[in-house]
Structure 1
């Protein structure tokens, strides 16, 4: 018998599986800032992100609990659970997605065991991710903010212009991402600006010293 401990399941959809979904889904686009689905909605469609990134927002006050990008599914459990959606999804940039009705999604899962098993593994990973975020909620505001900014940059959500690393996010966005208040963001940003680590505009964050910011995110360097 094969030793399952040495079997590594790819939790992402394969090219063949994506091609199958492409054949039955419809491509739709969302401008930056638009809502793709809302918390509490009873809709059951599924979206496969093709281009761009989205933020998953839940709770009150609002908290960004995850960021998803190309190749990721969002809303995939609504058709299975048939319950109101547990989070809202917003476009962080222009997004292109494949829209799948609940019927098409369930039919696909019924005929694709590997994809169904991969979905189970994905849900386990997201549960672990949620647990990790709960632990991180105990971190100091500066470290949480630094981790959020570094994560955005690492995910490719920034641009390099004039040799500078720029993220098109407001301080309100950062507050939601880090799980802290807007006032806390302002207090944390102040010493980072003074030390030449960040520069903040009206709707932008410029990373001037990524190495130090990463060190702060790891808890190795204090902010003051």
Structure 2
């Protein structure tokens, strides 16, 4: 599918609408023309936390994870970024070191734009600047909402909401159930809900014993999503669409300033 067709947009602008989908076709084409297309193998880092900014990436194909590590070694999974998303824009514009690491979950293809070229493009395009500001604002609001709601949830509830969100955004129906089509480790799942790896192991063991999920090496199949919705419903007293789970997912498309 051509780039313009793949990200022609549609729907309201929120934290889940990727950056390229927010742009008019002329601006999108001009921005992509600035970069050179590179491929990254699975589990390779596109950018590293704390490194100085030298470039911006536009994800064309594949999915990445955004993680940040604390001084004690704990690693938090902040977001997943996929086709149409921009990576590294904040550090490029502010000149600050990168605040997170972005790693390919599967083979990724991206357009790499040199920092100076990106800054010049944004400086001479008020429309693109406003779209970038809107993206940042949406991500910040989504992150604030997540922090507020997670503060009132148990780890069990947070984990159920996470699995439902992954089911909605990355679910692939199979004979066994709905497979989460991004390879996340137990440590990465734990980092997404602010829990320990041991806690996530215990939760998964309980869900397996009850026939709610099936797990393998970096694979996760949800067999009974209705049970997960009931677990999550105590954290969301308002009715939610049964097709997509709770309305306030724990996984904004991006919450970190790279």
* TM-score, normalisation: structure 2: 0.75
Alignment partner for residue 111 of structure 2, among 89, 93, 98?
98
Where 1:216 maps in the other structure, the secondary structure is helix
**What corresponds to 2:39 in structure 1?**
29
| Aligned with 1:197 (options 197, 204, 212) | 212
Give the distance between the partners of 1:189 and 1:153, measured in 2 at CA: 15
Partner of 2:95 in structure 1?
Answer: 82
Greater relative CO, 1 or 2 (CA 8 Å, sep 6+) = 2
In structure 2, the CA distance between the partners of 1:101 and 1:62, relative to structure 1 (3 Å rule), is same
Identify unmatched segments of 5+ residues in structure 1. 1-7
Aligned to 2:252: none
Report the alpha carbon displacement of residue 174 of structure 1 after superposing the two structures with TM. 1.2
Displacement of 1:214 after TM fit? 2.9
Distance 1:217 1:117, change over 3 A: same
Deviations 1:28-61 (A, max 9, x none): 1122211111110012310111112211111421
| Gap change, CA 1:16 and 1:212, over 3 Å in 2 | farther
Query: Aligned partners of 1:92, 1:214: CA distance in 2, in Å?
Result: 27
Work out the CA distance in 2 between the residues paired with 1:219 and 1:54: 31
CA drift of 1:202 comes to: 2.5
5+ residue gaps, structure 2, are 1-11, 237-258
Between the aligned partners of 2:141 and 2:195, the Cα distance in structure 1 is: 21
Q: 2:148 corresponds to which residue?
A: 135
CA distance in 1, matches of 2:176, 2:215: 16
* Aligned residue among 137, 142, 148 for 1:124: 137
- CA shift for structure 1 position 190: 2.3
Alpha-carbon RMSD: 2.1
Query: After superposition, what is the alpha-carbon deviation per residue over 1:99-140, rounded to whole angstroms, capped at 9, x for unaligned?
Result: 000111112112221110111111111111221232244221
CA contact (8 A) 2:176 2:223 kept: no
